[in-house]
Amino acid sequence: MVVTTTQTGLPLFVLGQGRDPHSERGVECPGELPAASDPGLVARARAAKEALGDRLFVLGHHYQRDEVIQFADVTGDSFKLASEAAARPHAEYIVFCGVHFMAESADILTSDDQRVVLPDMAAGCSMADMATFDQVEECWEALEDAGIADQVVPITYMNSSADIKAFCGRNGGAVCTSSNARRALEWAFQRGRKVLFLPDQHLGRNTAVLELGMGLDDCVVYNPHRPEGGLIRQQLGDAKMILWRGHCSVHGRFTPECVDDVRERIPGVNVLVHPECRHEVVLKADHVGSTEYIIRKLREAPAGSAWAIGTELNLVKRLAQEFPDKQITFLDRTVCYCSTMNRIDLPHLVWALESLAAGQVVNQITVDADTAHWAKVALDRMLALP
């Protein structure tokens, strides 16, 4: 294998050869995965789940594949699922079909006797990975140097690592979801003059401008890859919202042109998008809301109505199947699944379940006690929101 070392000391691997353990959470399983072509996978998953009985609780995020969702005991968004896990203290094993930060939240909210398992450790979240602990610490130091850190309340979106949730807990901040972002920001502005919003700039901007009545000039974007975030002290001093330069790779791909195109193709269509979409897309949409809001809106919609949905494709396809009396389409002509959500497939789920049934705990997600404590402080502050 040929490895070239750059001036920064980082290795460059020939395509398809080698791996970097420092940048990959783990793309290998410590065991044999069943073949994806195995026609008995469904039966094997059922048998393993039946053998585990009440000792097992399977969570499935809305964006998961149908082949996985069929085995979920509960489906929902990330916070709902973590809360559901906490409400099942009798379940010895929590198998989280989602991504890494979600399984971390489940581990934080469940008891020490419960084991949280992520079927594929490579199932991460590109948005969550855009804000590392070291980067956020550097940002906070920049705010201290600018003399404004004592005026800033950090708020992190649920789609963030346990480290970032803990950072917010330690520094007087809280967690929010896309459903309660407005309430979280109102809470924060009662305690400080500014908010550092992590890691999704779009949710922060959309909430501040469209729900709290701020102007776009009240928001600045902190870029962790530039010195001082690419901002001068006056910008930091003038801003009310300091937005982290992060985004969702799926929701960020929707454009205003997508909205114009679907309106031209489908007269009378209702455009319904997630608040992780770009501000200019949200402005063109008819309705904006969280995943749970999107599902509820379609459930309540009249038969025969047409809808273009700006969120992850697995969910959009499932909604189209669930509500065949409505015309439901993906907002973008180019289909796009969440590549990391899609990591968990039936072979990985079968492997995890069969391993547990055999008494072997695999891919356990564990958050250290100090991080878990402060992350829970931030989560509890969110739960206490009016």
Residues at the binding site for iminosuccinate are: 61, 78, 157-159, 178, 274-276, 291
Bridge-based pairing state of the strands 306-310 and 270-273: parallel
Q: What are phi and psi of 95, to 5 degrees?
A: -95, 115
Instruction: Mention every residue, 6+ apart, whose C-beta is less than 8 A from residue 66.
Output: 314, 317, 318
**Amino acid at the residue 236:** L
Give the whole-angstrom CA distance, residue 292 versus residue 76: 8
111 half-sphere exposure, CB direction, 13 A CA radius: 9
**Cα 164 to chain centroid, rounded:** 13
Q: Residues within the annotated binding site?
A: 61, 78, 125, 157-159, 178, 248, 274-276, 291, 338
Q: What share of the chain is helix, strand, coil (3-state, %, to 5)?
A: 45, 15, 40
In this structure, are residues 341 and 62 in contact, taking their beta carbons and an 8 Å threshold? Answer: no
Give Rg (Cα) of the chain: 22
Which residues lie closer than 8 Å to 21 by C-beta, 6 or more apart? none
Burial 206-241 (b: 16+ CB within 10 A, else e): bbbbeeeebeeebbbbbbbeeebbebeeebbeebbb
How many Cα atoms sit within 13 Å of 120 on the Cβ side? 23
Distance CA 66, CA 346 (A): 9
Q: Quote the CA–CA distance of 170 and 140 in Å, as a whole number.
A: 12
Task: Please give the Cα distance from 45 to 74 (Å, whole number).
Answer: 16
Residues of the binding site for [4Fe-4S] cluster: 125, 248, 338
